[in-house]
């Protein structure tokens, strides 16, 4: 089912100074996975596991950004981007989590300088899932020591770029790294160990807090925070006790398990009880939550869809939820008639308004940025160099209007980054799904701005929607 643009759409103006950008991640676009001393990451290893990634795809060559970054920055300039959110690659900067490698550091030096010369603000993310494989061999994020090794890596890159990068995020979507990677096994490192996943949650958050201290020391005056993927979770039947319990469980592990320790300084009591058999309390040491809840300058919100859940699985639902909290009692509604992206994700722009309002109302005041929002659709290429993606334009239009509705509701929302600038390696989906506003021909590496890129450029130019 296609997404349709809003009928009789009204003009929408965003606040002065609103940040307009696009986002990428190192492993998804850089390629050059064995170049200039870069060591293997958990994703390099995961890609070699049979059946782990669609078509057996790997992070090579991805979008060849390591060699083509200059061309890509010119694309950003042409589109009028005010900011570019990228991640730095731990295995490139400190190969095998060892000593710094000047070649990797030099690459990010060149990238940042090129962005600044183009008038584009660099937004750096320290961790977008590419853990050095050597650390995974020692237990990965289930090992507390990894948090301290992360702080070492953070110090290396922040001390190098902190004089020019003034916006930092420590982690991207720690939920994915911990739950998908260590419990469900569908992301790297591909483990299915609930106890390891619970340990990974805490150690990722500890690493975030330690990295915040690094940023404060080496990039004074910069803005710093982290990015969480948040989902509104609603019951299929608001009058059903079973459905409300399903909401509690899913919302707890998806949202509150990360929001609460970071913004309130404590894990939710109900989740501490739920996760007691899996050792959450065993990993929390004196002082940890103080480190984790260090004051933030910003919170990045990644939004793609919401969840409608039930505690009484039936036709039109599919099982879901982390296994250790009773997946047999939780299911996701699948037959609600909403349009879907090529990924099968329901298109729910109102959910973006809802989740932004929730953070605004339930947590301490903090500036918010939408650091990812986007959709995969089958793009239609024409021989004249045009790439039509009407569905993506409609998706963008509806979600930007939803973001504006949150601002009208009092949310301190200060920016929007589309995911993604370029078609790229989309994790377990490999190259089968295209999220970019710029089409990448993976055979030739030719870049072609899509219809959505031209549309977004107009939004940026007008700071609003017509």
Instruction: Identify the DSSP state of 97.
Output: G
Q: Confidence band (pLDDT; 50, 70, 90) for 336?
A: confident
Q: Residue 100: which of 157, 146, 43 has the closest Cα?
A: 157
* pLDDT for res 327: 54
Put the strands of the sheet holding 331-333 in their side by side order: 233-235, 307-310, 331-333, 317-319
Q: Which of helix, strand or coil describes residue 388?
A: strand
Does residue 1 register a pLDDT over 50? no
Provide the strand spans (E) within 283-412.
Answer: 298-302, 307-310, 317-319, 331-333, 368-372, 380-381, 387-388
Q: What is the pTM of this model?
A: 0.96
Q: Which residue has the higher pLDDT, 320 or 43?
A: 43
Architecture of the 12-232+245-298+340-465 domain? Alpha-Beta Barrel (3.20)
Structure-block tokens of residue 223 = 């803005």
* pLDDT for res 2: 46
Q: Confidence band (pLDDT; 50, 70, 90) for 321?
A: low
* pLDDT for res 3: 45
Q: Confidence band (pLDDT; 50, 70, 90) for 322?
A: low
Structure-block tokens of residue 200 = 């990974």
Does residue 7 register a pLDDT over 60? no
Provide the strand spans (E) within 323-393.
Answer: 331-333, 368-372, 380-381, 387-388
* pLDDT for res 380: 77
- Cα–Cα distance, 127 to 210 (Å, whole number): 13
Q: Confidence band (pLDDT; 50, 70, 90) for 162?
A: very high
The residue ranges of every structural domain in the chain are 12-232+245-298+340-465
Strand partners, 85: 23, 123
Structure-block tokens of residue 377 = 């659709």
What residues are annotated to the active site? 173, 372
Does residue 325 register a pLDDT over 70? no
Structure-block tokens of residue 416 = 């929007």
Strand partners, 368: 299, 413
For range 20-28, the mean pLDDT:
98
Cβ burial 166-194 (10 Å sphere, 16+ → b, else e): bbbbbbbbbbbbbbbbbbbbebbbbbeeb
Q: Confidence band (pLDDT; 50, 70, 90) for 312?
A: confident
Q: Confidence band (pLDDT; 50, 70, 90) for 49?
A: very high
For range 265-279, the mean pLDDT:
94
Q: Confidence band (pLDDT; 50, 70, 90) for 31?
A: very high
* Measured CA angle at 187 (ends 183, 189), to 5 deg: 75
Q: Which residue has the higher pLDDT, 445 or 381?
A: 445
* From 18-32, 117-131, 229-243, 371-385, the region with the lowest mean pLDDT: 371-385
The 10s digit of each residue's pLDDT in 249-267 is: 999 999 999 999 999 999 9
Beta carbons within 8 Å of 422's beta carbon, 6+ residues apart: 24, 29, 63, 65, 72, 436, 438, 440, 447
Mark residue 140 as left, alpha or beta (left: phi above 0; alpha: psi -120 to 50; beta: remaining): left
Does residue 222 register a pLDDT over 90? yes
CA distances from 271 to 17, 233, 361, 400 (A): 39, 16, 21, 33
Q: Confidence band (pLDDT; 50, 70, 90) for 6?
A: very low
For range 339-365, the mean pLDDT:
96
Q: Confidence band (pLDDT; 50, 70, 90) for 4?
A: very low
* pLDDT for res 338: 86
* pLDDT for res 328: 58
pLDDT, averaged across the chain = 94
């Amino acid at each position: 089912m296609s997404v349709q643009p809003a009928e009789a759409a009204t003009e929408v103006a965003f606040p002065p100074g609103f940040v307009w950008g696009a986002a990428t991640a190192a492993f998804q676009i850089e390629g050059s996975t064995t170049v200039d001393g870069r060591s293997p990451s958990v994703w390099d290893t995961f890609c070699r596991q049979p059946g782990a990634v669609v078509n057996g795809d790997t992070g090579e060559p991805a979008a060849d950004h390591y060699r083509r970054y200059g061309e890509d920055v010119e694309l950003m300039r042409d589109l009028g981007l005010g900011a570019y959110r990228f991640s730095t690659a731990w295995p490139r900067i400190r190969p095998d989590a060892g000593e710094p490698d000047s070649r990797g550091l030099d690459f990010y030096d060149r990238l940042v300088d090129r962005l600044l010369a183009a008038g584009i603000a660099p937004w750096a993310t320290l961790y977008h899932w590419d853990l050095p494989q050597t650390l995974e061999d020692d237990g990965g994020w289930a090992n507390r020591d990894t948090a301290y090794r992360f702080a070492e890596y953070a110090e290396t890159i922040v001390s190098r770029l902190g004089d020019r990068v003034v916006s930092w995020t420590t982690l991207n979507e720690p939920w994915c790294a911990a739950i998908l990677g260590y419990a469900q096994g569908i992301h790297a490192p591909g483990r299915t160990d609930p106890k390891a996943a619970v340990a990974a949650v805490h150690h990722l958050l500890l690493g975030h807090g330690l990295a915040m201290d690094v940023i404060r020391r080496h990039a004074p005056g910069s803005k710093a925070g982290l990015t969480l993927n948040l989902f509104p979770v609603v019951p299929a039947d608001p009058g059903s006790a079973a459905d409300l319990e399903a909401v509690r469980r899913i919302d707890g592990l998806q949202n509150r398990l990360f929001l609460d320790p970071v913004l309130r300084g404590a894990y939710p009591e109900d989740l501490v009880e739920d996760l007691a058999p899996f050792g959450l309390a065993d990993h929390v040491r004196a002082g940890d939550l103080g480190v984790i809840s260090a004051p933030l300058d910003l919170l990045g919100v990644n939004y793609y869809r919401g969840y409608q859940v039930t505690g009484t699985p039936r036709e039109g639902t599919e099982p879901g939820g982390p296994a250790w909290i009773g997946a047999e009692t939780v299911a996701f509604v699948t037959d609600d008639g909403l349009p879907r992206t090529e990924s099968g994700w329901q298109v729910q722009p109102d959910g973006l308004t809802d989740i932004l309002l929730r953070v605004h109302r339930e947590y301490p005041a903090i500036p918010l940025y939408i650091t990812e929002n986007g959709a995969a659709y089958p793009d239609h290429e024409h021989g004249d160099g045009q790439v039509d993606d009407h569905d993506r334009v409609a998706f963008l239009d509806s979600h930007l209007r939803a973001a504006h509705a949150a601002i009208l509701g009092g949310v301190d929302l200060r920016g929007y980054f589309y995911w993604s600038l370029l078609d790229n390696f989309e994790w377990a989906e490999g190259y089968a799904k295209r999220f970019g506003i710029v089409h990448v021909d993976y055979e030739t590496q030719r870049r072609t701005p899509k219809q959505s890129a031209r549309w977004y450029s107009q939004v940026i130019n007008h700071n609003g929607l017509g």
